Structure 1
């Protein structure tokens, strides 16, 4: 389960980077369906992480990884909604990506 969570997480970070590039380079921004799919996959990754956490019960010092990831997904939910201007959505995706990358780095330490 941990390996799947790791590989899926890396693929999601890559997808989120693609979404940032798409959002910032196109006039209309990322299509609603792609945004929804990305957010949905991030939510699924959180659920897989929770299951992995319960099954594996890591050391207490590992608490920062899930905190970073949950914050990143919350930012993605709030800051990238289609009601926000495109510039705010780009900033939201960038912030979420940076936090996802930092959280992933914590996972490997």
Structure 2
């Protein structure tokens, strides 16, 4: 982090550390490719058993989520570290999940890989 004066009160420094990354996540675009998301084996389409929720994990570190007939209901950035995934929606919403035995567990949902 740059240009954070050391004379700031501890609460202001903590706020700067927490809030600064959010702007960066929201400002990322589809042309930026985070290294952690480029080569993982989880890129592709993940769907709930009923097909209502569909997460497309793009190889450029972006995702596109559809819900029912609403295409691109949510879009944003994601990173995979091991079997864990973190999401940052373009509006600033965050979420995470885990890949367990080839299944994505995310926000109380279970998503399966679509071939």
Please indicate, yes or no, whether the TM-score normalized by the shorter chain is above 0.5: no
Larger proportion of helix: 1
TM-score with structure 1 length normalisation? 0.27
Answer with 1 or 2: which has the greater Rg.
2
Taking structure 2 as the reference length, the TM-score comes to 0.26
Greater relative contact order, per chain length (Cα 8 Å cut-off, separation 6+): 1
Higher strand share: 2
